[in-house]
Amino acid sequence: MTKQVVQISKVIIRFAGDSGDGMQMTGDRFTSETAGLGNDLATLPDFPAEIRAPQGTLAGVSAFQLHFADHEVLTPGDQPDVLVAMNPAALRANIGDLPAGGELIANTDEFTKRAWEKVGYAANPLEDEAFLQKYHVHPVALTSMTVAALQDIDISKKDAERAKNMFALGLLCWLYNRPFDATLEFLTDKFGKRPTILAANVAAFNAGWSFGETTEDFAIQYEVNPAVKKAGVYRNITGNPALAYGLIAASVQSGLPLLLGTYPITPASDILHELSKHKEFGVITVQAEDEIAGIGAALGASYGGSLGITTTSGPGVALKSETIGLAVALELPLVIIDVQRGGPSTGLPTKTEQSDLLQAMFGRNGESPVPVIAPKSPSDCFDAALEACRIAIEYRTPVFLLSDGYLANGSEPWLVPDASTFKVIEPNFATETNHVDKDGKDEFWPYLRDPETLARPWAIPGTKGLEHRIGGLEKANGSGAISYDPENHDTMVRLRQAKVDGIANTIPLLEVDDPSGSARILILGWGSTFGPIGAACRLAREAGHQVAQTHIRHINPFPSNLGEVLKSYDRVIVPEMNLGQLSMLLRAKYLVDIISYNQVRGMPFKSQGLADVIIEVIETERATA
Amino acid sequence: MSNFPSLSLVPAASEAQSAKDFKSDQEVRWCPGCGDYAILAAVQSFLPSLGLARENIVFVSGIGCSSRFPYYLNTYGMHSIHGRAPAIATGLAASREDLSVWVITGDGDALSIGGNHLIHALRRNVNLKILLFNNRIYGLTKGQYSPTSEQGKITKSTPEGSLDYSFNPVSLALGAEATFVARTIDSDRAHLQGVLAAAAAHEGTALVEIYQNCNIFNDNAWEPLKDSDTRDDLLMRLEHGEVILFGKDKGKGVTRTSEGHLKVVNVADVSSDALIRHDAHATDPGLAFALSRLSDVYSLENTPIGVFRDIQRPSYDRLVREQVAQVKERQGAGDLQDLITGNDTWTVK
């Protein structure tokens, strides 16, 4: 039958099922096909920490949301337009987000009495009149149709049932007119050595596609035109691989071999996985016995003239703190990547949060300043990693890079940069003595600083004539010999702080986005809230309000014009996925009465909620003016 | 090129060196009479024999009295944090094949706070030489019992006697399948330097336990092994390939019981073919481990010294280098533009 084709400008789809249903893979594949069509997009995987929670339970629901459009997309979207629910648990866990009138594709085979009772439904929701009135429900016997489609393939019933996610993908690909080529290639790659499994997945996909084409239940096929984007070559990129690429780029640009010392931890492990695949760049990955050994190996490598990197999440940072302090004292380059997750303690391993900021700033003994920078989007993890390495190398200092679970697993299209435009990072190893002792003999002083940057010389083992000893004990300014002198300690503490403060001279001034040019309210964020804040500003502006937006990448030191920016607005709103950590820093440093807006739900902000906050502040200001 | 095959990637010294070349300008600040002085002097006079460029030698230490060691050697050095020296040295050794990396640690640093790093360094067989100064006491914190203190020890923190059972560092290292394990004594310079030479020649992690005297907080802990009246009776000097004979007049040996355990016997009481011959090169660490268990924690009877185990197994850092080289050989050197572009792109015109 010929179906009606309708042009729409954006869609938000959420795939939800059991942890074992392959929802992340389904989402990834749909994303890949969508990216290839040139739509702009953003994704939000949302899965439990358990690898296989009990089947059919709310705890085991794994979901993947994708927002794609013919225009610029800033977030994965607040609410899905379409929900694919593979079982009653997936429905129950996600139906609250589906707006009235939203489309629901439900796998009816899984809606047995036992299954819907298990998650607390008193009756089958798909047979509930009020439910059917509220949502546009497409009941699809996904499992049995998949099994039927595979009857000619020599495969167990269980394996056949497992291909149902491909049926769902096929149906959705038909519905939104996505091509299948890349997925076919992907499946061939993945299952090439198991031809029957490959055949089953392909057949399931085709069956899903044909079902869409023939069933009367789906009367309309949709099309979303490509977004208008800057010319160039694009790819889809997830935050963790982008971050790994940024580290490799820094290694190439500095000529320093990269050594990652790390211990697996969610949600940072994928950076280890990615880096371990790139030995062609001379990358060494040491999967250490614990978090402390991971950073120890990285620091040891830095001492030897490598680019030492460690990756972790909040609990790992707690363990690494002492070594970070040592790196502050040794004044050696080191990059600590903290992919933040919900805390305290083990907290929410697979959920996002921004609550390690103060830990990164202050979580060490003594006056122990460490530069902190944060990427704002999955692709920005690349640039932020490159920048973190630049600061570490040029200033001989540990640097914190604060990513988070949302950036780590979320994805977006990326205009692939031209590698020939990346700046060279100059390690400037010391090769000559730099001081003359009282007897006129040339000697090397490891703490004789560069007068401009205050960075100390980095003389690596193997450099003749510059043999020296460094350690965690306080050092005499200049010579680096052990010193317990009160005056010297005071000097050294201030010098280390001044060195980090001075980095502000090399970072760009903060820019403010205010299309109206006359906004009196500023909304300021850091890290992964960039997308939701931007979308919220868009909503507020569409509603006729004026609001300025700015986003901080460098949190320590702050950009040098930050104080000025803050003071040029009547009110400043700072939304954070913590209880106000950046707000605390801003208030302390600039004495500005920040409006701190906080959520710690393990999920990114919804833009409508943020827009409501902005509008409320604007209206309150107007009323009290 | 060095005389030591395991150090073939480390540049040789361009001129002859003496102990003096390895003395730094720092004033040595251990207590007068500390066993560390003897070890420092032995190491300073041993290092020239390696024939290595001084700038390619690195000493990394943790925290404790012994960990001040690097400050007194005119090589590269890092005085790091408590227990972590093996981890830091692992990163250094894995990334720099041209360095001779030594770790200086103590019984508290290596076996208490740093126990995890020690066993994993040994298991990985990183090219590190770990010198563990064992004085059976915490010195720098002024006299608490350590993991090698004998149970019942009266110290500042254990006025009624310590309750912990002690570690035997050699047994621990062998349990972790260390490829080189030896024991020596601070005051026996010739033996100490012989063991250091064997450790230096070994590819991979070498653990050398050095019985060291803390004359302030645990004086004479090893005295029976040093006293000329008692030492010959207590010390079992291990020599690879030799029948183990010790005691005054070499009257004692080691045999295997019908249950399979090792037992010290009077040589006169058994047939000569029943006596155990030491085999430091045995792949199975069982014999070395059994020997390490013979000594008595309190009386120090039957204390073996020398090289317990010295086997060949490729070091972690060599395997790291080989993997990188294989990938480069297979794929060619990495291209940054290719990496970031990937193979799933689209073009917007």
Chain B residue with minimal CA distance to A233? Answer: B347
Tokens describing residue B80: 């790091």
Asked if A303 and A328 touch (Cβ cutoff 8 Å), the reply is no
Chain A residue with minimal CA distance to B320? Answer: A284
Q: Which residues contact B83 (CB under 8 A, 6 or more apart)?
A: B62, B63, B109, B110, B112, B113, B114, B115, B117
Asked whether residue A225 carries a pLDDT value surpassing 60, the answer given is: yes
Query: What is the per-residue pLDDT for A181?
Result: 84
Asked if A545 and A614 touch (Cβ cutoff 8 Å), the reply is yes
Quick one: which of A88, A103, A87, A104 has its CA closest to A22? Answer: A87
Torsion-angle region of B136 (φ positive above 0: left; ψ -120 to 50: alpha; else: beta)? left
Query: What is the per-residue pLDDT for B91?
Result: 98
Interface-testing mutation among A248, A289, A460, with chain B (most B C-beta atoms within 10 A): A289
Chain B residue with minimal CA distance to A473? Answer: B79
Q: How far apart are CA A564 and CA A582, in angstroms?
A: 17
Residues of B in contact with A326 (CB under 8 A): 80-81
Condensed to tens digits (0 to 9), the pLDDT of residues B184-237 reads 999 999 999 999 999 999 999 999 999 999 999 999 999 999 999 999 999 999
Query: What is the per-residue pLDDT for A180?
Result: 84
List the 147-186 stretch of B: residues with Cβ below 8 A of A. Answer: none
Quick one: which of B15, B25, B28, B23 has its CA closest to B43? Answer: B23
Asked if A523 and A548 touch (Cβ cutoff 8 Å), the reply is yes
Are A469 and B11 within 8 A, CB to CB? no
Partner residue opposite A234 with nearest CB, options B75, B81, B345: B345
Residue B12's Cβ-count burial label (10 Å; 0-12, 13-18, 19+) is: middle
Handedness of CA A437, A442, A445, A448 (dihedral sign): positive
Residues of B in contact with A286 (CB under 8 A): 90-91, 94
Chain B residue with minimal CA distance to A243? Answer: B340
Quick one: which of A516, A525, A533, A496 has its CA closest to A594? Answer: A525
Residues of B in contact with A35 (CB under 8 A): 344, 346
DSSP three-state, residue A399: strand
Q: Which residues contact B278 (CB under 8 A, 6 or more apart)?
A: B238, B239, B240, B241, B242, B243, B244, B287, B291
Q: Which residues lie across from B214 on neighbouring strands?
A: B218
Chain B residue with minimal CA distance to A286? Answer: B91
Query: What is the per-residue pLDDT for A497?
Result: 98
Give me chain A's average pLDDT, please: 96
The whole-angstrom distance between A139's CA and the closest CA on chain B is 34
Q: Which residues contact B249 (CB under 8 A, 6 or more apart)?
A: none
Query: How are strands ordered across the β-sheet holding A554-556?
Result: A284-287, A258-262, A307-312, A334-340, A398-404, A372-373, A554-556
Residues of A in contact with B348 (CB under 8 A): 38, 226, 229-232, 234
CA gyration radius, chain B = 22
Are A286 and B94 within 8 A, CB to CB? yes
Reported as a pLDDT band with limits 50, 70 and 90, residue A219 is confident
Are A38 and B74 within 8 A, CB to CB? no
Partner residue opposite A323 with nearest CB, options B74, B84, B332: B84
Mean pLDDT across A156-185: 92
Task: Work out the percent of chain A whose per-residue pLDDT is above 70.
Answer: 100
Condensed to tens digits (0 to 9), the pLDDT of residues B102-127 reads 999 999 999 999 999 999 999 999 99
The whole-angstrom distance between B334's CA and the closest CA on chain A is 5
Chain A residue with minimal CA distance to B75? Answer: A467
Are B80 and A471 within 8 A, CB to CB? yes
Are A469 and B78 within 8 A, CB to CB? yes
Condensed to tens digits (0 to 9), the pLDDT of residues A259-282 reads 999 999 999 999 999 999 999 999
Residues of B in contact with A464 (CB under 8 A): 53, 55
Mean pLDDT across A580-596: 97
Q: How far apart are CA A47 and CA A51, in angstroms?
A: 9
How many helices, marked H, and strands, marked E, lie in chain B?
11, 12
Are A300 and B81 within 8 A, CB to CB? no
Q: How far apart are CA B193 and CA B188, in angstroms?
A: 9
Condensed to tens digits (0 to 9), the pLDDT of residues A109-119 reads 999 999 999 99
Query: What is the per-residue pLDDT for A20?
Result: 86
Element (H, E) at A207: helix A195-214
Condensed to tens digits (0 to 9), the pLDDT of residues A342-382 reads 999 999 999 999 999 999 999 999 999 999 999 999 999 99
What is the residue type of A168? A
Reported as a pLDDT band with limits 50, 70 and 90, residue A623 is very high
CA atoms within 13 A on the CB side of A504: 16
Q: Is B21 on the interface with A (CB under 8 A)?
A: no
Cα–Cα distance list, A585 to A574, B187, B299 (Å)? 11, 57, 61
Q: Which pTM does this prediction carry?
A: 0.95
Mean pLDDT across A13-40: 92
Tokens describing residue B47: 């290092």
Q: How far apart are CA A353 and CA A577, in angstroms?
A: 5
Q: Is B87 on the interface with A (CB under 8 A)?
A: yes
Tokens describing residue A524: 């300021």
CA atoms within 13 A on the CB side of A421: 4
Are A284 and B94 within 8 A, CB to CB? yes
Q: Which residues lie across from A395 on neighbouring strands?
A: none
Partner residue opposite B92 with nearest CB, options A252, A301, A382: A301
Beta-strand relationship, A435-436 and A442-443:
antiparallel
Quick one: which of B171, B304, B170, B309 has its CA closest to B238? Answer: B304
CA gyration radius, chain A = 27
Interface-testing mutation among B55, B57, B58, B92, with chain A (most A C-beta atoms within 10 A): B92
Chain A residue with minimal CA distance to B343? Answer: A235
Q: Is B94 on the interface with A (CB under 8 A)?
A: yes
Residue positions counted in chain B: 349
Are A293 and B99 within 8 A, CB to CB? no
Asked if A531 and A74 touch (Cβ cutoff 8 Å), the reply is yes
Residue B143's Cβ-count burial label (10 Å; 0-12, 13-18, 19+) is: middle
| Range in A23-37, A374-388, A457-471, B92-106 with the lowest mean pLDDT | A23-37
Residues of B in contact with A466 (CB under 8 A): 55
Residues of B in contact with A231 (CB under 8 A): 348-349
- For every residue of A17-64, DSSP letters joined together read EEGGG-HHHHHHHHHHHHHHTT-EEEEEEE--SSSSPPTTSGGGEEEE
Are A467 and B89 within 8 A, CB to CB? no
Are B348 and A226 within 8 A, CB to CB? yes
Condensed to tens digits (0 to 9), the pLDDT of residues A277-335 reads 999 999 999 999 999 999 999 999 999 999 999 999 999 999 999 999 999 999 999 99
Are B91 and A231 within 8 A, CB to CB? no
The whole-angstrom distance between A113's CA and the closest CA on chain B is 44
Residues of A in contact with B347 (CB under 8 A): 232-234
Q: How far apart are CA A44 and CA A28, in angstroms?
A: 10
Are B90 and A300 within 8 A, CB to CB? yes
What is the residue type of B119? I
What are the two backbone dihedrals, phi and then psi, of residue B299, each rounded to the nearest 5 degrees?
-85, -15
Q: CB contacts < 8 Å between A and B, how many?
A: 208
Asked if A533 and A583 touch (Cβ cutoff 8 Å), the reply is no
- Residues in chain B with pLDDT values less than 50: 1
The whole-angstrom distance between A486's CA and the closest CA on chain B is 20
Beta-strand relationship, A220-223 and A4-7:
parallel
Chain B residue with minimal CA distance to A31? Answer: B344
Mean pLDDT across A387-404: 98
Asked if B72 and B25 touch (Cβ cutoff 8 Å), the reply is no
Query: What is the per-residue pLDDT for B1?
Result: 44
Residues of B in contact with A293 (CB under 8 A): 84, 86-87, 90, 116-117, 120
Asked whether residue A509 carries a pLDDT value surpassing 90, the answer given is: yes
